[in-house]
Structure 1
Amino acid sequence: MRISELSRRSGVSIPTIKYYLRDGLLPPGRATAANQAAYDEEHVRRLRLIRSLIGVRGLSVSATKDVLAAVDDNQGDLHLLLGLVLGALPVERSGRPSRSGPEEGSERDAEPVAERDAGGAVDDVAALTAEMGWQTSPNPPAAQVISETLATMRALGVDYDWRSLVPYAELADRTAQLDLDQLQDAGDPLQQAERALLLTVLLEPALLALRRLAQEHHSALRFRND
């Protein structure tokens, strides 16, 4: 297909496609003339993933390039690929998967959580993941969020530890299984990565809204004076 068709199929403008080609995010097409090239389905899938990483997940172009480099090196490992595009597994600037610290473009800073943690919240997260039997990478960004939240709650005088989170973790475990069940028919790894990213990022506000609706419902059942 020509670049105009690639633009139509992917939803990415021609100037943006040319920018991605120049910057190395998108591999070149097959040359058909001095100033023309042909593109294929792989280009369509990659552009859709790029669009999702930048437009949905909110990564910078530089961070997206790093993620894509790691994706290219690990397309045979779907678990690793999903961790890369979802941010569960950070990426080094070299494009290789990193086992600690968030990737560029993350809102988390580089200071170790343990140095900020005043209430043993890091140990709480380790205890929670052990209780759930979860297999995770060392110091994933999501664990940092949980530990900092617990530390903040304790600093405000709220008696809350990992045991209080177990029922929520059980719900999250079932939700994660539902998420991955929806990847069964997604096709090749790039399509699965894009779909996982969209399901995760775009559904999160809706899941929070469902929680609010359920809270309103059960509050009415328990506390409303009719």
Structure 2
Amino acid sequence: MRVSELVKRSGVPLATVKYYLREGVLMPGATTSATQADYGDEHLHRLALIKALAGAGLSIHKIRVITTLVEDPGDNLHETIGRAIAALPPYRDGRRRADHPRARRALERLGQVYDPAYPAVEQLERALEAVESVGIPMTDERLDAYGKHIRGIAEIDFALTPTESAQAAVEYSVLGTAVYEPVIAAMRRLAHQDISATRRDDSAPKDTP
């Protein structure tokens, strides 16, 4: 397809498509003349990926990190997915910590792997530090409940991970994190609303005959 059709089908403006081409996050099309190129479904798919990541607030630099890993995931899929997830917010604060005591304790209580080099460990440490600072620390009761249900979410995520290629697995893992975490947050808030409304209705005085 010509670039005009790529723009029409993707919904991405021409200037933005050219920007993505210049930045290397969108692969070039097959050259057909000195001024024209042909694009395929893989370009539409890549533009959808870029749009999703940009919509999640990623900079062009972080998007390039992810698209590079999708194109060349390497031999260690676990490590590659970790590097891709590290490109998603929240980001490390630059302080190199040898240990993450809050995160380590939480993960050990849940019986999960503690690897201080994995980006999400520092994210958890900072989050736990933040809840402590506002006076609502993570209690064991809350941690056990959160851990149980989040584990269930993670298990269905892994069960649905595509297995046809490493590229598909990396892309799925990154997108699943970037675009589904807002879904989880919204559903949690809606559950709060529903529980609050239900309890309010239950506590309201009933009319007597």
TM-score normalised per structure 1: 0.70
Equivalent residue letter for 2:195: Q
- Give how far 1:79 is off: 4.8
Which structure 1 residue ranges, 4+ long, deviate > 6 Å from structure 2? 185-188
- Give how far 1:161 is off: 4.5
Paired with 2:111 and 2:194, the residues of 1 have a C-alpha distance of 28
Partner of 2:183: 203
Identical positions, percent:
27
**Is this contact kept in 1: 2:104–2:114, CA < 8 A?**
no
Gaps of 5+ in 2: none
Paired with 1:37 and 1:22, the residues of 2 have a C-alpha distance of 14
Structure 1 residues 69-97: Cα deviation after superposition (integer angstroms, max 9, x where no partner): 23322077665555444x3xx25xxxxxx
Partner of 1:143: 121
Equivalent residue letter for 1:109: D
Structure 1 residues 126-165: Cα deviation after superposition (integer angstroms, max 9, x where no partner): 1322343434653444333432343344445556445641
Task: Indicate yes or no: 2:132 matched with 1:132.
Answer: no
Structure 1 residues 4-36: Cα deviation after superposition (integer angstroms, max 9, x where no partner): 222233222221111111221112111111111
Closer/same/farther in 2, CA of residues 137 and 9 from structure 1, 3 Å limit:
farther
Paired with 1:150 and 1:198, the residues of 2 have a C-alpha distance of 21
- Give how far 1:174 is off: 0.7
Partner SS state of residue 33, structure 1: coil
Task: Indicate yes or no: 2:155 matched with 1:171.
Answer: no
Closer/same/farther in 2, CA of residues 219 and 191 from structure 1, 3 Å limit:
same
- Give how far 1:167 is off: 1.5
| RMSD over equivalenced CA pairs, Å | 3.5
Closer/same/farther in 2, CA of residues 54 and 81 from structure 1, 3 Å limit:
farther
Equivalent residue letter for 1:196: G
Paired with 2:142 and 2:185, the residues of 1 have a C-alpha distance of 23
Pairs aligned (count): 203
Paired with 1:201 and 1:5, the residues of 2 have a C-alpha distance of 32
Paired with 2:157 and 2:71, the residues of 1 have a C-alpha distance of 23
- Give how far 1:186 is off: 9.9
Closer/same/farther in 2, CA of residues 107 and 198 from structure 1, 3 Å limit:
closer
Closer/same/farther in 2, CA of residues 51 and 84 from structure 1, 3 Å limit:
farther
Superposition pairs of residues 154-193 of structure 1, within 5 angstroms: 154-156=132-134, 158=136, 160-161=138-139, 164-184=142-162, 189=168, 192-193=172-173
Closer/same/farther in 2, CA of residues 196 and 12 from structure 1, 3 Å limit:
same
The structure whose Rg is larger is 2
Q: Structure with the greater relative contact order (CA < 8 A, sep ≥ 6): 1 or 2?
A: 2
- Give how far 1:59 is off: 0.8
TM-score normalised per structure 2: 0.75
Equivalent residue letter for 1:61: I
Superposition pairs of residues 1-226 of structure 1, within 5 angstroms: 1-55=1-55, 57-74=56-73, 79=78, 82-85=81-84, 87=85, 90=86, 106-112=90-96, 122-135=100-113, 138-156=116-134, 158=136, 160-161=138-139, 164-184=142-162, 189=168, 192-193=172-173, 195-197=175-177, 199-217=179-197, 219-220=199-200, 224-226=203-205
Structure 1 residues 161-187: Cα deviation after superposition (integer angstroms, max 9, x where no partner): 456412211111112223344545999
**Is this contact kept in 1: 2:2–2:37, CA < 8 A?**
yes
